[in-house]
């Protein structure tokens, strides 16, 4: 890149990347494989991350739990004002005519990232790619290759090759297909999970540390399938006298099959002149079950998903299941939400000067998901009724405010600052006059008598003396 100095001279400089000039442009592929067990001298067996996701039930369950859990969280656009307060920007309100402003356009983009694809499905696709490959890529579509993007097209990561640069970690992305390839620059895309790997500019897949767990799980299932497909397991041996003809052996075999070889014939007593010896076979089911249980727990640990979320309910009771579900939202979905927000803010909004200057940013609204249940909320409202007004509590519940003044006052004289105008009486004060009404205490219209001679009368600014007002106190 080139930089213009204070003297107006254009000089070539390198970026501040420590590896500038040391790294050749190479391609880092996103399709990695896991080596599986194979017979000695046989052909090596490998499984791609996509195959593992589609075939391993616990990897699939963990990915689905995270992707579906995060996709149901609303993703909103906010704007910071000069005081640091944020307000939500909406582009979906009815009755708005004319061309939307930049904030409304951004909110519309977040609601429909792709034509015909809603936000929830788009977030789910991105998170599935993140949880399987460690990375996800979306292309920013701009009308006429200029202006603000109006679509974020999801690109399957298995088609992506990352091109590393000499002066920057990532120079671009090569996307291959059946009819050719396209190359996208960094500012044309949003790369989710970037720099998650210590030794690469791309992210690391959660399946990477499950290398041996996945291989063991696959070997166990292949062993069980082969055992039941290939094992010759007769239920018993019937020994007959020597010299028994072949016809007699077939007749005895058919008679035993007809009398004892069905569920309805189970438990019958066999009467025969031959000798019967029962056979049994055990594929070491206890050891296999224990290994499968351990592999399930290792998958849950790698994805940080509590076992009850995956349907693993051993040693589960109501108390710990409830707490683990709350912990899953806070400690699992929460960090993933922050990471996705950060990638959008850094690679989408920060690259657009209009959005950056206006103070826009995107964020997940997780209040609904982490809010307590109804009984816990009722207890909070009961304790906070001295501070919160009824209308504020109704707002938290998504209800319409009460009409009139019924919902404006908390159940106490102690109110939050600015909640009640100065001089407006509390409805719960017995005998208090409303503004503009006669005060029953002194019979003077429009005035209210102070409860204490040391306090100024309502309507008189605090700190004014008798001399300041020109009146005499009674």
pLDDT interval class at 451 (50, 70, 90): very low
Tens of pLDDT along 284-295? Answer: 666 777 888 888
Strand segments, DSSP code E, in 10-66 are 10-12, 27-29, 33-36, 45-48
pLDDT band at 440 (very low <50, low <70, confident <90, very high): very low
Percent of the chain with pLDDT over 70: 75
Q: What is the per-residue pLDDT across 15-40, written as a single tens digit (0 to 9) for each?
A: 566 666 665 566 666 567 888 887 77
The CB-based long-range contact list for 449-456 (8 Å cut-off, 24+ gap) reads none
The answer to whether the predicted template modeling score (pTM) of the entire model surpasses 0.85 is: no
Domain residue limits, the chain: 18-232+286-371
Structure tokens belonging to residue 448? 């209210």
Instruction: Out of 177-186, 214-223, 252-261, pick the least confident.
Output: 252-261
The pLDDT, as a whole number, for residue 313 is 81
* Between 167 and 468, residue with greater pLDDT: 167
The pair of three-digit structure tokens given for residue 214, joined into one six-digit string: 């996945």
Judge whether 167 and 159 are in contact, CB under 8 Å. Answer: no
- Looking at per-residue pLDDT, the higher value among 410 and 172 belongs to 172
Tell me which of 271 and 397 has the higher pLDDT. Answer: 397
Position 279 scores a pLDDT of 65
Q: What's residue 455's pLDDT? A: 46
The reported pLDDT for the residue numbered 30 is: 58
Query: Could you report the per-residue pLDDT of 63-79, keeping only the tens digit for each?
Result: 999 999 999 999 999 99
Whether pLDDT at 403 is above 80: yes
In whole angstroms, what is the distance from residue 20 CA to residue 25 CA?
11
Region 300-304 average pLDDT: 93
HSE-up of residue 290 (Cα within 13 Å, Cβ side): 3
Look at 461 and 1; give whichever has higher pLDDT. 1
Between 235 and 330, the more confident residue is: 330
């Amino acid at each position: 890149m080139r930089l213009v100095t204070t003297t107006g001279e254009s000089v070539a400089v390198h970026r501040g990347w420590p590896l500038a000039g040391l790294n050749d442009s190479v391609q880092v592929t996103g399709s990695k494989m896991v080596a599986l067990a194979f017979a000695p001298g046989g052909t090596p067996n490998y499984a791609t991350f996509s195959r593992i996701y589609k075939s391993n039930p616990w990897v699939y369950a963990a990915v689905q739990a995270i992707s579906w859990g995060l996709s149901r969280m609303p993703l909103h656009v906010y704007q910071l004002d000069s005081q640091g307060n944020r307000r939500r920007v909406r582009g979906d309100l009815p009755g708005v005519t004319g061309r939307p402003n930049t904030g409304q356009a951004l909110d519309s983009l977040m609601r429909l990232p792709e034509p015909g694809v809603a936000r929830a499905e788009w977030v789910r696709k991105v998170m599935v790619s993140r949880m399987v490959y460690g990375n996800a890529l979306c292309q920013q579509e701009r009308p006429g290759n200029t202006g603000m993007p109006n679509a974020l097209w999801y690109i399957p990561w298995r088609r992506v090759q990352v091109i590393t640069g000499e002066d920057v970690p990532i120079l671009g992305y090569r996307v291959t297909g059946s009819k050719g390839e396209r190359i996208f620059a960094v500012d044309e895309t949003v790369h989710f999970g970037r720099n998650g790997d210590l030794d690469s500019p791309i992210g690391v897949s959660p399946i990477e540390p499950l290398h041996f767990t996945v291989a063991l799980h696959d070997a166990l299932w292949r062993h069980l399938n082969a055992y039941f497909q290939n094992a010759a397991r007769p239920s018993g041996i019937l020994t007959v006298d020597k010299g028994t003809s072949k016809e007699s052996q077939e007749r005895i075999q058919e008679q035993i099959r007809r009398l004892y070889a069905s569920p309805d014939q189970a438990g019958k007593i066999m009467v025969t002149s031959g000798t019967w010896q029962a056979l049994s076979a055990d594929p070491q089911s206890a050891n296999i079950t224990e290994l499968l249980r351990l592999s399930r727990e290792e998958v849950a640990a790698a994805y940080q998903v509590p076992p009850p979320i995956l349907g693993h309910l051993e040693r589960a009771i109501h108390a710990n299941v409830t707490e683990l579900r709350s912990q899953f939202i806070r400690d699992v979905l929460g960090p993933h939400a922050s990471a996705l927000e950060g990638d959008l803010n850094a690679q989408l909004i920060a690259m657009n000067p209009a959005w950056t200057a206006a103070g826009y940013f995107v964020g997940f609204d997780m209040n609904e998901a982490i809010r307590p249940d109804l009984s816990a909320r009722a207890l909070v409202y009961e304790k906070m009724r001295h501070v919160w007004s009824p209308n504020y509590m109704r707002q938290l519940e998504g209800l319409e405010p009460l009409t009139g003044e019924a919902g404006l006052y908390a159940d106490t004289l102690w109110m939050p600052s600015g909640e009640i105008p100065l001089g407006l009486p509390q409805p719960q004060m017995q005998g208090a006059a409303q503004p503009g009404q006669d005060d029953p205490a002194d019979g003077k219209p429009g005035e209210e008598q102070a409860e204490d001679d040391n306090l100024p009368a309502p309507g008189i600014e605090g700190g004014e003396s008798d001399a300041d007002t020109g009146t005499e106190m009674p």
